[in-house]
Amino acid sequence: MTTEGTPDTVNGVAATLGSGGNATVAENGTWPTGFSLNTTTGAVIYDGTSVLPGDYTMDYDLCDLASPTPNCETATVTVTVAATPIEAVDDTPPNVDGATGASIPNVVANDSLNGVTNPSIGSDVIINESGTAQDSTALGLDVTPAAGGIDLDPNTGIVTVAAGTTAGTYVYTYELCEAFNPANCDTATVTLVVDPLNLITRIESDLEVILEEDLANTLTTQVNQISGYSADALDRLRQRSPEACLADVNARLAVENVLFDTDKAIIKPESNQTLDDVAEILQSCEGASFEIAGHTDFRESDAYNIDLSQRRVAAVRLALAERGVDVTGYVARGYGEREPIATNTTAEGMRLNRRVEFRPISNESTGHAEYSQCDDSFNLARNLNMTANDSGVSAQGDFTQDQHSCITDRREVLEGSVSYVDTETGQTQSAINLSYRREQYRGSESVFGYFVGLYGSRSEVTTLANGEIDGFGLNAGIYGAKRLEHDLFLDYYLGAAAGRHSFDLAFTRDFGVVNANGDYTYLAGFAGAAISGEFALGKAVVAPRVGFDYIYAPGADVDVIAELGGLTEAGGLELDAISGGRVFAEIRTDYLIQDGRANLWFNPRVSCYQSLGALDGVCGVGGAIGIESAGDNTALTYAVELDGEWGESYTMGSLSMSVAREMEVGVLSAQADMTTRGAFGLGAAYDVKF
């Protein structure tokens, strides 16, 4: 036992305790909690937890064991309690993705208390994550991120970097203190490197798919529209051929001629369909007029037969006028028995000689055939069409103003349309289109036109992202058709389009919703041409056609602003160039059956694709066969078509059926479709004309 470093003594001899000793020792007074005196050894014992660091002085009594009377002396002992060693170690965790954020594990795991690492938070140590440390160090983040956030949980020691935290290097200072002695502390730092968000990179692939599909759909719609201009010009040029009209009319009469009551000019009811079909053909021959020639067999006198045939063709002329044909320039002329085409010695021969036929009008002064007297025309049409099937709902309304001037032989067409489509994938599209066309005809030899148009569209996107794409664009170009030979034609088109589409889309990701808005602009070119012919082969009409369609857009630059929470990233990307088209050859053959009330047709073809879709760089063979009612003048019409195509690594096929009936102010129709890919459609439409 020592007091202030000097040994205690009894009778000048060093004091000893225990068995054989010369002294005893005992605590004098109350000692501080945690301290005690071992009376056997004289050692002062401290439990290590009961008092804070500092100097503690305690009294004790030393007594002579051999003295018969108490012989004691009081002394003091001073004990110094040192602070527990505590060490907070700096942390440098791996870089954090700013978009997804991260949780940094317990930063106390590498700290120590009294030489023991990973002390228990709460019972052993406490964490101060804000304010000022014991050594006056500022606690917390050195820089507050512009977006997102970084927090240290004092209860777990976990540092959380929020998703969408601005990129940068951040230093978080914290203080680790002994729980028993909060003044016993040490500070350390957590250095965090937050990588850039790269929001655009995280949505780039999906955004490209959406925008490229939007662009492809836009271009496909426009090329279909523009190629339709040249097809319409070709049809009108064909119709301008009086020879073609004559061939079509007389081909129909060859199937079933107009029948009359015996020795009368009364048309039999069974010839009404024949006259309906002839009227339809003549109405397509804008401005043309013909001679209606009537013939009889040899029975009765020549004068009687001339008169009978004259009355009969006059009845035909009147019947055509009643069916809407402008017969102003038509000439009805009866030839009696003078021009037989078969023998009059048999019943079959006489039946063939009793006929009505159409001819060019002969100019007696020139000896040349004349066909028409032109009249100016002006047509204004409006219609509404709605369709519903398992693929969704669609509606379309449009108006057309079509004007033709005989003086200039020029046609002007102003068209507008509004459409809405809701597809089975949940995507909807609404659009408005306006176009102007001007065509200059050169008789029946050629037509040349130009067009300008504009469109506005809105697409609702529900796959890969949610949002809208608004589009606006212009297109312009030329088109036309030319008669190369009597029944050989060339039609063509060449156009360009430009547009700007803006988008506002939301992409759901694991770390949150990325909102992307921006726009892209595009330029595109369209070209197509075809050579087609038409000739009669017996009672059939054969129409071969060979040509190509092509579209090209040299990519598009996209400006994008991506946002996540309060974070914003601006950048861009580029859509791939889009090119597509086909080269094709086909031969369509039409054959009237059922006494001209139905048309049976088949159309073999060969096609090679460079496509906007899945068919890219492949060729195939295929064809279609179908049957349809032969005229639109019947109250009920129908059509059935079977189509197929086979090529390298692909097969396509479909079966479609439709029926339509006139009802009140419109036409009610129904259709069913089935493809080899398992798609099935069943729908109906009501086309209202007003």
pLDDT band at 238, cuts 50/70/90? confident
202-240+374-593 placed in CATH 2.40.128: yes
CA gap 575, 560 in Å, rounded: 12
| 62 alpha carbon, distance to own chain's centre | 100
Distance of CA 243 to the CA centre of its chain: 48
- For strands 488-509 and 466-485, give the pairing: antiparallel
Output 673 or 483, whichever has higher pLDDT.
483
Render pLDDT for 276-325 as a digit per residue (tens, 0 to 9).
989 988 876 766 789 999 999 999 999 999 999 999 999 999 999 999 88
pLDDT at 383: 52
Position 366 scores a pLDDT of 44
Q: Does 42 have pLDDT greater than 80? A: yes
Question: Which residues lie closer than 8 Å to 547 by C-beta, 6 or more apart?
Answer: 491, 528, 529, 530, 531, 532, 583, 584
Q: How confident is the model at residue 688 (pLDDT cuts 50, 70, 90)?
A: low
- State residue 1's pLDDT score: 32
Residue 385 pLDDT exceeds 60:
no
Contact call for residues 598 and 592 (beta carbons, < 8 A): yes
Identity of the amino acid at 288 = A
Q: Write down the pLDDT at residue 614.
A: 43
CA dist 438 and 90 (Å) reads 80
Buried b (16+ CB within 10 A) or exposed e, 557-575: ebebebbbbebebeeebeb
Residue 177 predicted with pLDDT over 80: yes
Q: Say yes or no to pLDDT of 263 above 60.
A: yes
Angstrom distances, CA of residue 168 to CA of 11, 17, 160, 164, 257 = 78, 70, 15, 12, 91
- pLDDT, residue 365, reads 47
Residue with tokens 């994008």: 560
| pLDDT grade for 368, boundaries at 50, 70 and 90 | very low
Domain boundaries, the chain: 2-81, 86-197, 202-240+374-593, 242-285+289-370
Predicted confidence at residue 424, as pLDDT, reads: 52
On the question of pLDDT at 262 being above 50, the answer is yes
Check residue 397 and give its pLDDT. 59
Domains 2-81 and 86-197 share a fold: yes
Within a 10 A sphere around the Cβ of 262, how many other Cβ atoms?
5
Q: What was the pLDDT predicted at 3?
A: 39
Q: How confident is the model at residue 475 (pLDDT cuts 50, 70, 90)?
A: very high
List, for residues 71-84, the tens digit of each pLDDT value. 999 999 999 988 88
The 10s digit of each residue's pLDDT in 181-227 is 999 999 999 999 999 878 898 899 999 988 988 888 888 888 888 98
Residue 2 has pLDDT above 50, yes or no: no
Which pLDDT score, from 0 to 100, does residue 292 have? 94
* 615: pLDDT strictly greater than 80: no
Residue 102, pLDDT > 70, answer yes
- The fold of 242-285+289-370 is 60s Ribosomal Protein L30; Chain: A; (3.30.1330)
Helix axes 272-283, 242-255, angle to 10 degrees: 170
pLDDT at 387 over 70: no
Element (H, E) at 202: helix 199-239
State the Cα–Cα distance between residues 432 and 419, nearest whole angstrom: 7
Handedness of CA 589, 590, 594, 598 (dihedral sign): positive
pTM of the model: 0.61
Taking residues 425-448, what's their average pLDDT?
83
2-81 has which fold? Answer: Immunoglobulin-like (2.60.40)
Structure confidence at residue 228 (pLDDT): 87
* Tokens matching residue 343: 């023998």
DSSP 271: G
pLDDT digits (tens, 9 = 90+) for 552-595: 999 889 999 999 877 788 999 999 888 888 888 989 888 888 77
Identify the residue with better confidence: 136 or 98. Answer: 136
Domain 86-197 coded CATH 2.60.40.10: yes
pLDDT reported for residue 592: 80
User: What are 481's two structure tokens?
Assistant: 């058709």
- pLDDT over 90 percentage in the chain: 46
3-state DSSP assignment of residue 300:
coil
